[in-house]
Amino acid sequence: MTESKIVTRTEAIRQAEAWHADGQQLVFTNGCFDIVHLGHIDYLEKARQLGDRLILGLNTDASVSAIKGPQRPVVNEYARARLMAALEFVDLVTLFDEPTPLELIQAVQPDILVKGDDYTVANIVGSDFVLGRGGRVETIALVPGYSTTRLIERIKTSF
């Protein structure tokens, strides 16, 4: 079941078109989701509540390393994709290898684009595109004290 939610970009486009044809509101978010924690769960659950379907763009391993450094990701893309797909409030997971998810956002054409409140609407990649189509861009308050980087540092100092 969970693996069926992990799709190629072509399949993601096809599914997004079908959901749009059914009149469903599509929510899109993206991230690395390396070492899943409470902050991720809370964020994704709240993102899904903003619409009918949640599409998650997941950075590939190469993309994560380019952004976070050579020691990351800790968890490989296959495992991260399976973990994300296992969440009941995530409807579709698709990987992207580009530096930003802009091409993926343009491809699936979400109605609602979501990021954490550590971003402003002005600096959310794809916000101009979604707003230009009449969609919304939302930020979600992050759970204080939860971040993968902070978690990794705590693990390192525990040994």
State the pLDDT at residue 149: 67
CB neighbour list of residue 145: distance below 8 Å, 6 or more residues apart: none
Q: What is the pLDDT of residues 22-50, one digit of tens each?
A: 999 999 999 999 889 899 999 999 999 99
61 has pLDDT over 90: yes
Measure the CA–CA gap between 22 and 10, rounded to whole angstroms: 19
Beta-sheet strands, E only, within 22-104: 26-31, 53-59, 92-96
Residue 29 sits at the vertex; the CA angle it makes with 96 and 6, to the nearest 5 degrees, is 50
Of 131, 147, 142, which Cα lies nearest the Cα of 47? 142
106 has pLDDT over 80: yes
User: Contact 120/139 with Cβ under 8 angstroms?
Assistant: yes
Q: Which tokens hold the place of 40?
A: 């991720």
Measure the CA–CA gap between 74 and 76, rounded to whole angstroms: 7
Total domains present in the chain: 1
Q: Could you tell me the CATH number of the domain that includes residue 124?
A: 3.40.50.620
Lowest model confidence (mean pLDDT) among 47-51, 83-87, 135-139, 143-147: 143-147
pTM, two decimal places:
0.92
150 has pLDDT over 80: no
Give residue 113's domain range.
2-157
State the pLDDT at residue 155: 73
* More confident position, 70 or 151: 70
Compute the 3-state secondary structure of the chain and give helix, strand, coil in percent, each to the nearest 5.
45, 20, 35
